[in-house]
Structure 1
Amino acid sequence: MYKVFIIEDDALIGDMLSMYLAEEGYGVERAENGKSAMAYLELHQPDIILLDIVLPDISGIELCDELRKKSTVPILVVSMKTEVMDRVHALNAGADDYMCKPFSMRELSAKVAAMIRRTHYNQQRQEQPSSEERPFPSQGPNKIFLNYDKRSLFVNGKYVETTFSEFEIMKLFIANQGKVYSREELINAVRGFDSFVNDRAIDVHIGNLRKKMEEDSKQPKYIRTVWGVGYKFVNA
């Protein structure tokens, strides 16, 4: 049974989510504030987190950032806030998707299922040592490579945490390094998992990857901007 952890202080919405997802066959746990959420996550590992942005003791964005430091579990933000910048802040903090209240319970259930399915499909793939898991050749000492089975990104041999959307973008880059990708092509790479995805969201994902991978994110060596077109990856 897959486990869903809901962080929601509104009793009505929390109960509604809990009952609906339990009827769908999920194991559901719930916290009403950030403190109890963090205490729960010290002891348990859910398959997905549903997170409200407005909580009584901490900003949901701050909590999302703290959760992402500790875990790569998928985070679906569910919020009354509908402004684009609220969504951008959530993405910057490490959220994988964003839904605005009110929402369709069927759509939410479909998102939860898709996020869990994507996660566990990749975690359960049989280990197959291949060129995908070895560093890609480069002319210098810098090497970036992916372990597809464990959904892991390594920069110069050091593990770097990524969100699921960031990993999907890197998969595309690694498979075709040097190729220039438009924002639309990158949108298509994550569409269906990150439903809030547009040009601005892609720029946020790229910015986050640069901060994690580059020595100087303002002068990137790996993910380079091709002005007027999009981005390309150079493993140099």
Structure 2
Amino acid sequence: MYKLLIIEDDVMMSDMLSMYMSGEGYDIKQAENGEQGLKLLEQFGPDVVLLDLMLPDWDGIELCGRMRQHSSVPIMIVSMKSEVSERVQALRAGADDYLCKPFSMHELSARVEALIRRSRLMQAAAAESRTAEAADTAAEKEIKLDSERRLLLVRGNFVETTFSEFEIMKLFLTHPGKVFSREDLINAIRGFDSFVTDRAIDVHIVNLRRKVEKNPKEPHFIRTVWGVGYKYVIEDESAPQ
């Protein structure tokens, strides 16, 4: 159940909004002034705020800005003020939507749903981004290239490599998640006139796993893509291969 905070000093309007949105399945809290609204914002943790601009103790625009400093909750202004300048000020203060009174309850409900949907998508995207950043940071700490000395830094320790091993790891680290065929890896090592064989690539992979994996028999970073080739991963995509 989503939570809705109504900050409205007109008791009749507030009760009407509360009654309708409760019928739509929302958990409702009502505040008659700005101070009450700020307290409920922290205590109640709403998914959406409906905010009137004309309150007895706060200017609605200033209150909107104050709320935005402390919370990313979607804020919809509901106001008798219909001037463009008022809407612009409210949006610049951090409001996400603006609905002029009188309005249709059906439209209000649809807009609240849209705000929640957008908020959830943004939260999911932010969480995914944080996960990816954490994975990138973790992988970076695990394995890095020292191009000047052509060495691998594996969990804080320098590891020597052959020319071919270094070039393969450079390709892997530059394109995490990309699947490389044996032919791709051959070309990366010697070029298109290569005399290196598929079997030689498999040997290089075995040697690299010994150098970078905690358990070479159950590789985490250098994965086999059966029937295709190999890829380098920085997350737990599946069971070790």
What TM bracket, shorter-length normalisation?
Answer: 0.5 to 0.7
Structure 1: state its 5+ residue gaps: 135-236
Percent identity at matched positions? 56
Aligned to 1:4: 4
Amino acid in structure 2 at the alignment position of 1:61? I
Q: TM-score, normalised by structure 1?
A: 0.53
Task: Give structure 1 regions of 4+ aligned residues with deviation exceeding 3 angstroms.
Answer: 128-131
Aligned to 2:100: 100
Determine which structure has more spread, i.e. the larger CA radius of gyration.
Answer: 2
- Superposition pairs for residues 67-82 of structure 1, below 5 Å? 67-82=67-82
Distance 1:114 1:62 in 2: 24
Distance 1:62 1:97 in 2: 16
Distance 1:58 1:81 in 2: 16
Asked whether 1:43 is paired with 2:52, we answer no
TM-superposed CA distance for 1:44, in Å, is 2.5
Q: TM-score, normalised by structure 2?
A: 0.52
Distance 2:101 2:2 in 1: 24
Distance 1:120 1:11 in 2: 30
Cα deviation, 1:148-171, whole Å, max 9, x if unaligned, reads xxxxxxxxxxxxxxxxxxxxxxxx
Distance 1:66 1:95 in 2: 11
Amino acid in structure 2 at the alignment position of 1:52? D
Distance 1:107 1:93 in 2: 23
Is 2:5–2:41's contact at 8 Å kept on the other side of the alignment?
A: no
Aligned to 1:61: 61
Cα deviation, 1:129-176, whole Å, max 9, x if unaligned, reads 669x98xxxxxxxxxxxxxxxxxxxxxxxxxxxxxxxxxxxxxxxxxx
Larger CA deviation: 37-46 vs 81-90: 37-46
Relative contact order (C-alpha < 8 Å, sep 6+): which is higher?
1
Is 2:68–2:94's contact at 8 Å kept on the other side of the alignment?
A: yes
Amino acid in structure 1 at the alignment position of 2:128? E
Amino acid in structure 2 at the alignment position of 1:47? D
Matched residue SS, 1:127: helix
Aligned to 2:128: 127
Is 2:50–2:75's contact at 8 Å kept on the other side of the alignment?
A: yes
TM-superposed CA distance for 1:122, in Å, is 3.2
Matched residue SS, 2:12: helix
- Superposition pairs for residues 161-180 of structure 1, below 5 Å? none
Root-mean-square deviation (Å): 1.9
Aligned length: 133
Cα deviation, 1:113-135, whole Å, max 9, x if unaligned, reads 1110111133246736669x98x
